[in-house]
A and B are shown apart, each in its own frame.
Chain A
Amino acid sequence: MPHPAPQPRTIVDKIWTDHVVTQDPGAPAVLAIDLHLIHEVTSPQAFTGLRQRGLRVRRPSQTVATADHSIPTTPRNLPMLDLQAAAQIGQLEQNCAEFGIPLHGIGSPHQGIVHVIGPQLGLTQPGMTIVCGDSHTSTHGAFGALAFGIGTSEVEMVLATQTLLQRDPKTYEVRVDGRLAPGVSSKDIILALISRIGVGGGTGHVFEYRGEAIRALTMEQRMTICNMSIEGGARAGLIAPDDTTFEYMHGRDHVPHGVGWDAAVARWRGLPTDDGAMFDKSITIDANTLEPMVTYGTNPGMGIPISAAVPAPDDEADPSARRALERALEYMDLRPGQPILGQKVDVVFVGSCTNGRISDLRLAAAALKDRRVADGVRLMVTPGSDEVKREAEREGLADIFRAAGADWRESGCSMCIAMNGDQLSPGQYAVSTSNRNFEGRQGKGGRTFLASPLTAAASAINGVVSDPRQLPGIESLAAVGGR
């Protein structure tokens, strides 16, 4: 609901009010969508729906597509062996051609994971409403956009009308004070948050991440945090834009240029939450006390500081939480009370829309330089986009990974969602920089420990879950990620 001018407002309220097209009494608002991102997996049925109704895409020029979820990460000159995936990608190409939607598909220099290429191309901008048939759309909130995942029926609605029906969300302040210690990263902030509030803690809310520790983060580090908002139950999470945001965006393909840039920045400076604005909920985290985090269980809320022990079901008072913990430990084959440090690892995965950007790869490469991946461990590095891949090769990161014995792949969602053949075997343990450790998420029977790129690299070197703070020269290593 619009407020009178003097009332202090949150950034969410400002963006929301800016986009309400109309609202009938008792009905949700008709919300205008600025940018619609689509990919091969959640869009085919939406285009079928359009054809059945004889509808066109209302705003092809506010829509952009890529192929990321089911594409192989093997060399691009090899044929796709999965015929069902190939057919789905073929359908995306056909749909985009027929409806006039720009597609950064396989072979395009701009192909990549949808949440990596949006910011990279400058499509993601402050104050926008951004949607995609993918729950990690919250990533784009790092720029001060209201960005959230939608279902395929909603994809069809946005294609047809460039609007959505939405109830206004509640707001949840996540204040992170203090400073992160070297070796502790933005991934650890978000895993710590989710471990405290649980995977349903943010349901019905939009997180706004604020505070000194958030302001100190680079854009790519901010994207990691916003990306996993959905794992805390919040459909969206955002960070008000500031100079860090504008520096990152300046000069990118789709951002305004010249005088248009200055006008846009002036407009964006009005977005941050006003002093005195009220949130529906609030939590404060002290960054000074955070350790690297790792998950031990089967949802992203089952996380602990890396030096801690795996929790014991007997210590859990609530019977249903106790059953859930028992089941998770059985699936993970971990003992209550065992240290997580030193737990053996078969695979390490560096990549995904959470941690597959160039700064993530720089960190992992810095840790692996002149070292080897432990015997018997497979390290798979999957750049988040074709551009990230080219940049990593230009900087020599790919050579470092290869020299360390890692498997350097093409870009895509890869083993984060494991629908393209990149997957764990039953019973294998992986340290993964991705976002979900659900049963079977990285391959049927596979067991995932979610962690930061530095924790992943340290674990690859040692062959067991390892504390990145023990890496030699961690202070200078950690600084690599701040570039």
Chain B
Amino acid sequence: MAEPFRVFTSKVVPLPAENVDTDQIVPARYLKVTDKAGLADALFRDWRFDEDGSLKDPPFILDRPGMGGRGIMLVGDNFGCGSSREHAPWALTAWGVRAILSTSYADIFRSNSLKNGVLPIVVPPQVHARLWALLDEDPDAELTIDLAEEGILLPDGSTIDFRIDPFAKQMLLAGTDELGYLLSKEHEMAAWEAAHSPRIDTVAGVR
């Protein structure tokens, strides 16, 4: 991860569907890449584009006027279920998404998002409903997300609190990654390995 997560303000892309799976976020045929870049056009590919590559008519929410550049998505419950593909947050970040608001996320998607600087914010159902009502009233409403304070500033000056895993928060704010943290535990790992012989040897000959 490169950039520390800072306070930011953005309009919101609404996507009310529940149980959006990662096959929709990035269809499997885009998983043959060997790097992380260039997945912006793969994001929600089959909901956005026809077979010939032209935009759907009417366009999917991401491609409607004024949506480009929005860094926050408001989505339905259990977002990111299904496949473990990290291509999903890679595509979301490539498109510009930096924070998502929902009542829940699938476990692997949430974990993958945090490792790519995408903040998966969980809000209770009544707050979720309030956010939908806010966007119904003003689709261009701007939200300010402050990770350090664990708060969302609404246009009327009120705030919504959220809770995030304290360790994930620390990692995001510092812009450091979990691998760096794990590598700092070399001493403990070596001690553990010295006390626990490996349960398997995959290199030893298979008959």
Contact of A21 with B185 in the complex, beta carbons under 8 Å: yes
With A45-B34, A102-B202, A151-B111 given, is the CB distance from A28 to B167 under 8 Å? yes
Listed from nearest, the 10 A-B pairs whose CB atoms lie closest are A200-B78, A151-B112, A151-B86, A44-B34, A22-B188, A149-B84, A153-B115, A64-B202, A135-B84, A152-B86
Q: For residue B14, give the distance in angstroms from its CB to the closest CB of chain A.
A: 13
Cα distance A323–B182 in the bound complex, in angstroms:
44
Residue of B nearest to A135 (CB): B84
* CB of A119, distance to nearest CB on chain B (Å): 13
Cross-chain contact B165 with A30 (CB below 8 angstroms): no
- Measured between alpha carbons, how far is A27 from B16 in the docked complex, in Å? 33
Q: Which residues of B contact A157 (CB under 8 A)?
A: 178-179, 182
Which B residues lie within 8 Å of A154 (CB)?
111, 115
Given contacts A154-B111, A157-B178, A163-B189, contact A419 B31 (CB under 8 A): yes
Which residues of chain A (6-57) have a CB below 8 Å from chain B?
21-22, 26-28, 30, 32, 34-35, 41-42, 44-45, 48-49, 53
Contacts of B34 in A (CB 8 A): 44-45, 48, 87-88, 91
**Does B108 lie within 8 Å of A30, measured CB to CB?**
no
User: How far in angstroms is the closest Cβ of chain A from B125?
Assistant: 11
Query: How far is A253 from B83 in the complex, measured between Cα atoms in Å?
Result: 30
B64 close to chain A: CB less than 8 A? no
The answer to whether B23 and A440 have CB atoms under 8 Å apart is: yes
Chain A minimum-CB-distance residue to B34: A44
- A203 touching B24, Cβ below 8 Å: no
Q: Does B58 contact A (CB under 8 A)?
A: no
Q: Residues of B contacting A101 with CB < 8 Å?
A: 202
**In the complex the two chains form, what is the Cα distance from A133 to B81 in whole Å?**
15
Docked-complex contact A165 and B19, CB < 8 angstroms:
no
Q: Name the B residues within 8 Å of A301 (CB-CB).
A: 19
A162 to B188, CA, bound (A): 12
Query: Interface code B76-100, partner A: CB below 8 Å = 1, 0 otherwise?
Result: 1110011111100000000000000
The stretch that binds B, out of A121-129, A344-352, A398-406, is A121-129
A60 and B200 form a contact (CB under 8 A):
no
Q: Using CB atoms and an 8 Å cutoff, list the residues of chain A in contact with chain B.
A: 21-22, 26-28, 30, 32, 34-35, 41-42, 44-45, 48-49, 53, 59-64, 69-70, 82, 84-85, 87-88, 91, 100-102, 110, 121, 123, 125, 127-128, 133-135, 149-154, 156-157, 160-163, 165, 167, 198-200, 203-204, 230-231, 233, 235, 253-254, 299, 301, 320-321, 323-324, 327, 417-419, 436, 438-441, 444
Besides A35-B202, A199-B81, A204-B107, 6 other A-B contacts (C-beta < 8 A): A21-B185, A42-B31, A44-B33, A156-B179, A299-B19, A320-B76
> Chain A's interface: helix, strand, loop or mixed, by majority?
loop
Could you say which residues of chain A place their CB within 8 Å of the CB of B23? 436, 438-441
Neighbouring B residues of A28 by C-beta, 8 Å: 165, 167
Give the distance in Å from the alpha carbon of A421 to the alpha carbon of B145 in the complex: 43
B contact patch SS: loop
Cβ < 8 Å to A, chain B residues 52-73? none
Question: Is B149 part of the binding interface, using a Cβ–Cβ cutoff of 8 Å?
Answer: no
Quote the shortest CB–CB distance from A54 to chain B (angstroms): 11
Pick from B29, B106, B179, B203: contact of A61, CB below 8 A: B203
- The residues in B between 156 and 207 inclusive whose CB is less than 8 angstroms from any CB of A are 165-167, 177-179, 181-183, 185, 188-189, 192-193, 196, 198-204, 206-207
Q: How many whole Å from B201's CB to the nearest CB in chain A?
A: 5
Instruction: Please tell me if the beta carbons of A200 and B81 are within 8 angstroms of each other in the complex.
Output: yes
Residues of B within 8 A of A (CB): 16-19, 21, 23-24, 27-29, 31-36, 46, 51, 76-78, 81-86, 104-108, 111-112, 115-116, 165-167, 177-179, 181-183, 185, 188-189, 192-193, 196, 198-204, 206-207
**Residues of the B chain whose Cβ atoms lie less than 8 Å from the Cβ of A162:** 189, 193
Between A and B, 8 residue pairs with Cβ closer than 8 Å are: A30-B185, A42-B31, A153-B115, A163-B182, A165-B181, A165-B182, A200-B104, A436-B83
Residue of B nearest to A124 (CB): B200
Inter-chain contact A161/B189, CB cutoff 8 Å: yes
A151 and B207 form a contact (CB under 8 A): no
Q: Once the chains bind, are A88 and B32 in contact (CB under 8 Å)?
A: yes
A388 to chain B, nearest CB (A): 16
Complex contacts, B104 vs chain A, CB 8 Å: 200, 203
CA distance A84 to B82 in the complex (A): 24
